[in-house]
Amino acid sequence: MKACLYVSNKAYFFLVFLLCVSPIYAQDKVFEVPDTLAGKTYFYLYNQYKKRVSDTTHSKLYLNTFLSKATKEGNRINRALAFNDLSYYVDTKKEKLQLIQASLAENSHIDSLYSIATYNSLGLYYKNSYDYENALEQYLRVLSIAQKGNDTLYQGIARENIAKIKTEIGNYEEALKLYKREFDRKNKRDDVSEENIVLTTLRLAESYRYNKKYDSASYYHHSVIKLVRKKYSYILSMAIINEGINEFYKKDYRKAKVLLEEGVSLINSNSLYYLRYYILAQFYLGKINESIDKDLSISYYQKIDSLLTKVDIVIPEVRETYEYLKINHKKNDDYSGQLYAINKLLKFDSIIAVRKIKTSYKLNTEFDTPEFLRNKELLISKLENKNYNLSINFIFLLIIIVITITVIIIQFRRHKIYKRRFENVVKELEYKPEETPKIEIEKASQDLNIDPEIVSSVLHKLEIFESKNGFLKRTITITLLAKKLSTNTKYLSKIINTYKGKTFVHYINDLRIEYILHELKVNPRLHHYTILSIAKEASFNSIGSFTVAFRKKTGITPSYYIKNLKNKRKGEV
C-alpha cells in the first residue's frame, strides 16, 4: 500500500460534478475517530467515502477519519486531498475558500497532479461567485497541469468548465466547439466511463439549444435519456427540463409542458445548481400559458420573482419575466406594480453589468436603461399625484444617470489608481534613503516625560529588533517586547507612538508587510504561493488580517501586487 493516495479518474470526475450540484454541509468542529475505523487504510477510508458521497453524515465520517490519519502520520498529500473534499460540505463561501487554500498549502505550492483537483475546486468557487476572470485562471492552470501529466480526464474537465464560462457570458458558438471536441474525444477512447460520456452528451445537447440548433439538441438528448432514467437519476431533472425548453422552441408546447412539469417534480430545489433549472422550468411554463391561462402564467412569473429575490442567481433568459409583469401592470393601470417591475429590471441589469456579463449577452441588447429611468420617474409622479417641476425632474434624472455612468467607469479608474500605487511601492523598495533622519531625542523625551537615556536605549534595541526580524515571531505582544527591551509597556507604547508615528499593532503589521513586500520582490518562488501561505510567511494568522494590513500599507491588494510583479518580471526577462 502506498503512503499516499491518488484518486481514480472516475472518482475525481464525480467529485468535481458533485461540487456543482450537491448541497454544502457544515464540517464538524471536533472529531474523534470511531473505534470501528481505527487502523483502517487510506484506500479503505477513501473508497467508503466515495460510495457515500451524497450521504453527508457517512461521507464526513470517513473523510474526517482519513484526515485524522493523514495528520497523525504527517501525510501532506492526503491531508490536501481531505481538505479539498471536505470543502464540498461546509456552509459558507468563507469556509469553503479556507479549506481549498489549506489544501493548496499542504501541496507545498507545487503544480502537480496531486494539486489539480484543488485548483479545479478553486475555479468552481470563483465561477459560483461570478468571478469569471479568476475562474478561468484556475481552469487554465488545471489544463496546463493535466497536459504536463498526461491526465486526459482533467484536460476534458478543464475544457468543459471553460465552455461553461463561455456559455455564461454568451459565447455560445465557442462553447459548442469545446463541448463537441470533448464529446468526440471521449467517444473515441476506451478508458472513459459511461457516466462521463453521458454528462458530456447532455452538456453538448444543452449547448446546441443555446445555439438554436434544436434538432441536434434533441438528437443528443434522446441518445442518452433512457440510460439517465435507468442509472443516473441524480441528473434526470436537469436533462428533462433542458429537453422541455428545447421542445418549447420547436413549438411543440404540449410536449414541452409535460417535460417541464416532470422535471420540476423530480428536481432537488435545495441545491443551488438545480435551482437554476427549476427557475428556467417555471419561466418556460409561464411562457407556454401566456395565451392559455393568463393568471397561471403570472403565478409562474411571480414565483420566479420570489426565488430571485431570495437567492443570488442571474439567468439572462428569465429577464423577460419582468418585461411581462411590467406590461401586465400597465394594462391594469397598476403604477405601483409597474414601478416594481422596472426597478427589478434595473437591478437585474445592474447585477449583470457588475459581473461583466451584460455586453456579451444578446438578450440584453434590446434593453434601454435611459428609457427605463424615464418611465420610473413618470410612475413615481403618478403614484404621488404631484406635479413635479420639469427642471427638478431633469436634475433628478441627471443625477441617476451620472451615478450609473460612475458605476460603469469606476473599474477603469480603480485600475489606473492601483497601477500607480503598485509603481510607487516598487519604487520605494528600489530606492531606500541612504540615511535615516536623526531624531531629536532630548526634546521628544521631555514631552514624553521619559529619561532621554531610556528613550535612546529603547530606540537602539528596536533597531536591533527590526534588523533581526523579531516582528516575525507570531506570539509577539507589547508585553513580551517590553520585557525583551528591558522597559515597561507604558514607555514602549509612548516611544513607538512618538518615534514611529503609529500604534504598536500598526508598527508590527507595517514591519511584516515591508518584509513580505521585499521578499516577494526578490524571491519569485513566492509568486506561486497561495495568499494564505504568503500571509503565514509574514506571520499573519489569517488572510483577512493580512489583506487589511497590506492594503492599509500599500493601498492595493496582495493578489494585485503579486500579479503585477509577475508581469513586471516577464517584461524584464
Q: Kindly report which listed range (201-210, 404-413, 507-516, 543-552) carries the lowest average pLDDT score.
A: 404-413
Tell whether 4 and 116 lie within a shared domain: yes
> At 198, which amino acid appears?
V
Q: To which residue does cell 482533467 refer? A: 154
Tell whether 144 and 257 lie within a shared domain: no
- Reported in sequence order, the residue ranges of 319-374 that DSSP labels E, i.e. its strands, are none
Report yes or no on 84 lying in a domain. Answer: yes
* Domain CATH number, residue 28: 1.25.40
Tell whether 239 and 156 lie within a shared domain: no
For residue 11, pLDDT over 50 is answered with no
Tell whether 2 and 126 lie within a shared domain: yes
Report yes or no on 481 lying in a domain. Answer: yes
pLDDT digits (tens, 9 = 90+) for 170-222: 778 888 988 998 899 888 888 888 888 999 999 999 999 999 999 999 999 99
Higher-confidence residue of 389 and 33: namely 33
Report yes or no on 6 lying in a domain. Answer: yes
Q: Which residues contact 122 (CB under 8 A, 6 or more apart)?
A: 100, 104, 138
* Domain CATH number, residue 556: 1.10.10.60
Report yes or no on 136 lying in a domain. Answer: yes
Tell whether 248 and 150 lie within a shared domain: no
Q: Of 311, 329, 358, which residue sits at a domain end?
A: 311
Report yes or no on 193 lying in a domain. Answer: no
Q: What is the DSSP string of 219-256?
A: HHHHHHHHHHHHH-GGGHHHHHHHHHHHHHHTT-HHHH
Most confident of 362-366, 476-480, 555-559: 476-480
Higher-confidence residue of 348 and 20: namely 348
Rounded to the nearest angstrom, the gap between the alpha carbon of residue 571 and the centroid of all alpha carbons in its chain is: 29
**Sign of the CA dihedral running 116, 119, 123, 125:** positive
DSSP 471: G
Name the average pLDDT for the chain.
78
Report yes or no on 355 lying in a domain. Answer: no
User: At 261, which helix (H) or strand (E)?
Assistant: helix 253-266
Classify residue 282 as left (phi > 0), alpha (psi -120 to 50) or beta. alpha
Tell whether 5 and 142 lie within a shared domain: yes
Question: Percent of the chain scored above 90 by pLDDT?
Answer: 12
Count structural domains, the chain. Answer: 3
- Predicted TM-score (pTM) of the model is 0.55
Tell whether 146 and 267 lie within a shared domain: no
Tell whether 161 and 17 lie within a shared domain: yes
Q: Which residues contact 445 (CB under 8 A, 6 or more apart)?
A: 451, 452, 454, 455
What is the predicted pLDDT for the residue at 175? 87
pLDDT digits (tens, 9 = 90+) for 391-408: 565 666 677 776 767 766
Q: Of 169, 192, 213, which residue sits at a domain end?
A: 169
Tell whether 163 and 256 lie within a shared domain: no
Tell whether 121 and 237 lie within a shared domain: no
How far is the C-alpha of 357 from the C-alpha of 171, rounded, in Å?
Answer: 11
Tell whether 147 and 239 lie within a shared domain: no
Q: Of 169, 197, 218, which residue sits at a domain end?
A: 169
Report yes or no on 401 lying in a domain. Answer: no
Report yes or no on 13 lying in a domain. Answer: yes
Contact 58, 77 (CB under 8 A): no
Q: Quote the domain boundaries for residue 241.
A: 232-311
pLDDT digits (tens, 9 = 90+) for 116-133: 888 898 888 888 777 777
Tell whether 55 and 161 lie within a shared domain: yes
Distances (CA, A) of 314 to 33, 161, 171, 352, 366: 42, 18, 17, 7, 18
Higher-confidence residue of 378 and 424: namely 424
